[in-house]
């Protein structure tokens, strides 16, 4: 709820009409919109990329690991087949021949040679009687008479019936295994037929897997003792320097780190009828070689996309916020100008009402005093005539003063009406200047006026021009120190244009200030200015078809020059 609300308010603030143009507002807006745009584009991309990444990886891993698993499985089968064949052979001999026949070493030798011819790997063959003593033996060593009654393999053969040993060196100094089968004679005596098999066959089976030089495959027993030599993890009968993988009868793969610190995939399978585990080790780097290439491509694609999104988000936001700001500024400027005009307009109406109401009693005073004067002049003999004349004159002068005030108030209200008329720019300038006479007097500001007496009348709006001149004069008065000077001049620039310049010797402006002078809400007056004076001035002059130029030197003063056309511009529809 609150998150949703916050999300909504984000959009609301973007669309609200702001009450002021605060740069922080637009910075925040820019930040928020950029963030939103980026998040909206990057998050799905990120999710998609992550899913792609993992799926590609999983697929590739499967594709690479599955053949290895098949190979390991097949090789285990070969091992099992090899062992099963040997065990069957020993079992078959024990069933076909009686112990008595086997006890005869000539028979045993014949059988041994036949078997060796059929099944490579047989080293020797021997019969052990029920006391655990080698009764007969054929093979390269002299083992006849050796007592095995306490040997572990003998005990296990007695219990299990068939026994396949781990690889061991024994005193033969090369790896081999023992396969033993127990039989019972009809009269209940047990005997064991024992064969030794050379595990050189194991190495050939491993070699037939055809592994890459970085890979490894070997057989270990359940206790982790190597049954065949390993490329990286030790010789036959060394302890495998890694923990044994969990027991499973299916061929499985696990990821781990070997003692050399290489990340490896181990594919392994437990034998079903022997305590052996076949393991194939492949370094991860090798498996992931194609994946690494693909991953680089994926990452490059992602980074490029994000960069593109970011640049579009930033660019778009910048454009949007700048437009928004410009439109806000225009809207507020229009609003403030309207408010300003309305305020002036209502002041104007009030002033006009007061002026009209005062004019009538003023006319009565004027006539009464005039009549008094007339009567006095007509009377032949009037005591203190001079004194009365002075009194009446004083009254008439005051009436004249009131009259000029009410007429000026009426002139002010008149400025609120939009009205193109033939007017004398000199008159308008002088009239506007009269509003500031009191201030000029108080602050000892010298106003010098150089007006072209031959100025033609122009078609323009008196009220709007007064506002323009008043704005410029106000700025000039604000810029000059007490005792400064303001110079007004008018001239005919060309047959169609008149020029008006207002020059002061005030503090002037920097180029930076000058660049922004016609922008709305730009002010150097800190607290007293609205920042709209020159903006409105510019707007009025453009609507009247004129032009305005400002020259300024910091510390030396400012000259504002206004050019006005003789004929009103077609765009001079004010108030729009």
Partner 1 sequence: MKGIKVLLVDDEENFVRTLAERMSMRDAGATVALNGEEALQMVSAGEVPDVMVLDLRMPGIDGMEVLRRVKKAYPQVQVIVLTGHGTEKDEEEARRLGAFEYHKKPVDIDILVRDIRRAFREKIEDAMVAATFAQAGDFDNAREILDEDKK
Q: In angstroms, give the least distance from the CB of 572 to partner 1.
A: 18
Nearer to partner 1, 310 or 391 (CB): 391
Nearest approach, Cβ of residue 371 and partner 1 (Å): 5
Which CB contacts under 8 angstroms, 24+ apart, belong to 298-306?
298/49, 298/52, 298/53, 298/56, 302/45, 302/46, 302/49, 305/45, 306/42, 306/45
Cβ at position 417, least distance to partner 1 in Å: 8
Euclidean distance between CA atoms 441 and 294, whole angstroms: 86
What gap in Å lies between CA 501 and CA 558, rounded to an integer? 10
- Closer by beta carbon to partner 1, 224 or else 370: 370
Coil, strand or helix at 276: strand
Beta strand ranges found along 368-484 (DSSP E): 420-423, 446-450, 458-461
Instruction: Select 332 or 362, whichever has its Cβ closest to partner 1.
Output: 362
Which residue number, 385 or 407, has a Cβ lying nearer to partner 1? 407
3-state helix, strand, coil split of the chain in percent (to 5) is: 50, 20, 25
d(CA 530, CA 98): 125
- Which residues, at least 6 apart from 364, have a Cβ–Cβ distance to it below 8 Å? none
Residue 352 or 534 having the CB closest to partner 1:
352
Q: How far is the CB of 367 from partner 1 (least distance, A)?
A: 4
- The residue (of 394 and 549) whose beta carbon lies closer to partner 1 is 394
**What does residue 223 show for φ and ψ, rounded to 5 degrees?**
-90, 0
What's the token pair of residue 279?
A: 């393991």
Nearest-approach distance from CB 413 to partner 1, in angstroms:
8
Quick one: 416 or 534, whose CB is closer to partner 1?
A: 416
Residue 132 or 370: the one with the smaller Cβ distance to partner 1 is 370
Minimum CB separation of residue 384 from partner 1 in Å reads 21
Q: How far is the CB of 400 from partner 1 (least distance, A)?
A: 8
Sign for the CA dihedral angle at 462, 464, 467, 473 comes to negative
Nearer to partner 1, 352 or 502 (CB): 352
Residue 447 CB, shortest distance to partner 1, in Å, is 28
Give the containing element (helix H, strand E) for 399.
Answer: helix 385-414
Q: How far apart are alpha carbons 220 and 207 in whole angstroms? A: 16
Rounded distance between C-alpha atoms, residue 396 and residue 404, angstroms:
12
Minimal distance, residue 408 CB to partner 1, in Å: 12
Q: Which is nearer to partner 1, 402 or 489 (CB)?
A: 402
At 282, is the secondary structure helix, strand, or coil? strand
Residue length, the chain?
A: 576
Closest by Cα among 504, 549, 559, 40 to 309: 40
Q: With respect to partner 1, which residue has the nearer C-beta, 370 or 529? A: 370
Q: How far apart are CA 78 and CA 164, in angstroms?
A: 16
CB atoms near residue 108 (< 10 Å): 24
Q: Could you write out the three-class secondary structure of 119-179? A: CCCEEEEEEECCCCEEEEEECCCCCCCCECCCCHHHHHHHHHCEEECCCECHHHCCCEEEE
Closer by beta carbon to partner 1, 94 or else 413: 413
- As measured in angstroms, the least distance from the Cβ of 429 to partner 1 is 20
Residues near partner 1, by CB under 8 A: 352, 356-357, 359-360, 362-368, 370-371, 374, 378, 399, 403, 407, 410, 414, 417, 419
Q: Which helix (H) or strand (E) holds 560?
A: strand 557-565
* Closest CB 348 distance from partner 1, rounded Å: 11
> Which tokens go with 135?
């009764």
């Amino acid at each position: 709820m609150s998150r949703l609300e916050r999300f909504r308010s984000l959009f609301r603030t973007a669309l609200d009409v702001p009450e002021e143009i605060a740069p922080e507002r637009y910075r925040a807006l820019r930040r928020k919109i950029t963030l939103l745009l980026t998040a909206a584009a990057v998050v799905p991309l990120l999710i998609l990329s992550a899913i792609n990444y993992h799926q590609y990886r999983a697929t590739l891993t499967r594709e690479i690991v599955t053949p290895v698993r098949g190979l390991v499985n097949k090789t285990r089968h070969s091992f099992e087949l090899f062992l099963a064949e040997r065990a069957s052979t020993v079992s078959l001999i024990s069933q076909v021949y009686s112990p008595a026949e086997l006890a005869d070493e000539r028979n045993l030798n014949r059988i041994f040679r036949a078997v060796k011819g059929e099944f490579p790997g047989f080293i020797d063959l021997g019969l052990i009687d029920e006391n655990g003593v080698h009764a007969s033996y054929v093979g390269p060593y002299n083992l006849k008479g050796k007592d095995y009654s306490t040997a572990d393999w003998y005990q296990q053969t007695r219990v299990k019936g068939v026994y396949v040993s781990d690889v061991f060196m024994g005193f033969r100094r090369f790896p081999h295994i023992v396969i033993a089968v127990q039989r019972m004679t009809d009269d209940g005596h047990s005997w064991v037929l024992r064969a030794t098999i050379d595990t050189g066959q194991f190495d050939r089976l491993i070699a037939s897997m055809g592994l890459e030089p970085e890979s490894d495959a070997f057989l270990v027993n359940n206790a982790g003792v190597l049954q065949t030599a390993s490329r990286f993890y030790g010789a036959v009968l060394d302890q495998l320097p890694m923990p044994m993988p969990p027991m499973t009868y299916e061929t499985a793969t696990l990821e781990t780190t070997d003692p050399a610190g290489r990340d490896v995939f181990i594919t392994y399978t437990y034998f079903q009828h022997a305590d052996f585990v076949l393991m194939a080790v492949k370094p991860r780097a090798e498996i992931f070689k194609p994946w690494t290439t693909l991953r680089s491509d994926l990452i490059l694609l992602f980074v490029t996309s994000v960069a593109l999104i970011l640049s579009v988000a930033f660019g778009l936001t910048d454009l949007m916020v700048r437009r928004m700001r410009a439109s806000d500024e225009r809207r507020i400027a229009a609003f403030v100008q309207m408010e300003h005009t309305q305020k002036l307009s209502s002041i104007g109406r009030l002033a006009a009402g007061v002026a009209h109401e005062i004019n009538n009693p003023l006319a009565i005073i004027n006539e009464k005093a005039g009549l008094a004067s007339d009567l006095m002049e007509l009377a032949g003999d009037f005591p203190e005539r001079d004194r009365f004349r002075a009194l009446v004159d004083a009254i008439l002068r005051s009436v004249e003063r009131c009259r000029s005030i009410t007429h000026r108030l009426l002139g002010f209200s008149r400025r609120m009406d939009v009205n193109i008329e033939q007017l004398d720019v000199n008159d308008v300038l002088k009239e506007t200047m009269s509003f500031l006479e009191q201030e000029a007097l108080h602050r000892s500001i010298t106003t010098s006026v150089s007006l072209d007496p031959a100025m033609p009348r122009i078609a323009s709006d008196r009220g709007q021009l007064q506002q323009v001149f008043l704005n410029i004069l106000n700025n000039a008065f604000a810029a000059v120190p007490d005792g400064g000077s303001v110079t007004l001049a008018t001239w005919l620039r060309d047959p169609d244009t008149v020029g008006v310049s207002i020059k002061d010797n005030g503090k002037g402006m920097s180029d930076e200030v000058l660049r922004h002078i016609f922008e709305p809400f730009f002010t150097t007056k800190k607290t007293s200015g609205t920042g709209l004076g020159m903006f409105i001035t510019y707007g009025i002059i453009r609507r009247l078809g004129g032009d305005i130029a400002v020259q300024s030197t910091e510390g030396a003063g400012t000259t504002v020059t206004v050019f006005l056309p003789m004929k009103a511009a077609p765009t001079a529809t004010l108030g729009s």
